[in-house]
Structure 1
Amino acid sequence: MLPYEALEAEARARLPEAVFDYYAGGAGDEATLVDNTAAWTRVRLRPRVLRDVSSVRTATELLGTPLASPVLVAPTAFHSLGHPEGELATARGTREAGSLLVLSSRASRKVEDVAAVAGPWWLQVYVFKDRGLTRALVQRAVASGARALVLTGDTPVVGRKRRDRGDAELPLPEEDFLANLEGLTRRELAEQASDATFVDIHWLRDLSGLPVLVKGVLRSDDARECLRHGASGLIVSNHGGRQLDGAVSTADALPEVVEAVDNAVPVLVDGGVRTGRDVLRALALGARAVLVGRPVLWGLATGGADGVRGVLDALREDTVRALALAGVSDVSAVGPDLVAPNRPR
């Protein structure tokens, strides 16, 4: 598998410019987009020595689901822009890599069709202004075998993207655009209801009977409030730098959220994870797993299902190497001692 920069460059060469910019771009001046990746490199590691790392184990478990590694596929929209099979290819590649797919509500393939070829999967949801649309989608996901819901909490309005040309330039057929949410306009599809609150965690949990994780948490007070309202997990995320530009990087926000949760529920993190070293850093800072978005899109664009599997396999193998170099033989043994205190900011 190509290094991330080379993979991104190949995807750029293959995709229409408007599609690449839609996937790659961030909000505002893209300061948060850039800092998400840079922040992981500011985390300095303290490797152990003279440990037996002749065999290194990355397998883990999350909300009852066994996984080949602590690397999951983040929810991203409209995969048919990157490959003709869209989310069907992503689902197959994710399954073959032994990972878990978080399927976007804005997928370009129907939930039922993706579920038919997927391994374990969760559904990312928004609380739309018409809650009946959310209810119907959640019920379809439950019937199709979703194992959890991921409520995105950071999109009451849509952040303005620096590279946004508008939907008109995206080569996306209407049937792909509205694959799962017929009845919404393009604008409504992009954002949740502005009156969504923590109470909606209860609503989604009662509606589905599934665990509900909340994505977009960057603060300790929000973390505690999510727990109080029944969240089964949290995802530290700034929407890949696509919402509020200038928001704190996820690497910098992660320790605060982990401390607030105090092991009550699993904390996951996304944003800028590109290497096995980044995975190690996230685990050492207290995350149970990471999610990757753009790397998967580049794998999809360059190789379909095989490309997705290749990206996830490469990250797992790079995580094995990082663990071995840090003197750790099992991801379950990663602890805060592996991170240098008072890391520079």
Structure 2
Amino acid sequence: MALVSRRSTRSESTSITKEEHAGGTSWTKLFFRWLVTLEGDQDINNGKGYMSIPNVSNYIFFFGGRLRTVKGAKPLWLGVLFIIVCPMVLFSVFETHKLWHTQKGYKVLVIFFYYFWAIMLISFIRTATSDPGVLPRNIHLGQLQNNYQTPQEYYNLITLPTHSSVLEDITIKYCQSCRIWRPPRTSHCSTCNVCVMVHDHHCVWVNNCVGKRNYRFFLIFLLSAIFSSVFLLTNCAIHIARESDGPRNYPVALLLLIYAGLTIWYPAILFTYHIFMAGTQQTTREFLKGIGSKKNPVFHRVVKEQNIYDRGSFLKNLGHLMLEPRGPSFVSARKLHENGDWRFMNLSPAHSFEKI
């Protein structure tokens, strides 16, 4: 087994200057590539990560790697963004002024709505556009002299001993797509075409994976969505109840009341499910594997499985999830890398040992 070491990075100013002049790329092209990076360029395998990561993944980057999404997927996240923004706009235009200038002390309810709405929007953006814990490619390569052929031993599962009496060993597997031995709890996402640490699932509603580095943002998004719906419902119900001429004369308040009553259920169910998952130190993938089903896990009763990651109590598991460091981004979209860095190269397809 050959281990490909990570290349050291150069200083930012020197690298950008060399890339611009040596590559002969115009400032206009560089600006638009910084604005939106749809495809990588195999001929320019240097510079910042957002220029090269699309070569080996399905990511699209915006604003120099600050935001990301997945290409080729259904844009359901745009619908979610519309559902988030539209009620706030309607509430601001038709309801805020009336509630704010009452003599009943309803201002605090308006403030709470905007507070939780802002948290919901920020956490949604961070969940949808941040690095979920992507691991670098081409770290563990075998038989370099034979067209990167996969040796027979790479098809085996490797078991590592543990200190726990609950779980005798941990199994790790080689990823044929990313050419790495995956750490425990890491899985390959076929939609993003990357391996993600502590991979829970790929969420179609945010068009991103939910993993080690953005799981807490996902939970905050669900919780703040619940509270913003509660305060939206409360504000509109108070407005309608205070008027003596009936709700028909206030169609927007009635519409927002119905909206809040309907939309609160889905994030509430998801949040409850994921809280139980986090409290028992299970990911969705591990849970589905344990129950032997590929159906929607929300409709299955959450059963606590004994595992080495369990810290002994529900609250300790939740606290560990919310308070532990996110960890570094191993494939940073904003850091520089040298030309020929194998982490950003598309190697020839893996060969099956059995077909040789």
Same fold (TM over 0.5): no
Q: TM-score, normalised by structure 2?
A: 0.19
Q: TM-score, normalised by structure 1?
A: 0.20
Q: Which has the larger radius of gyration?
A: 2
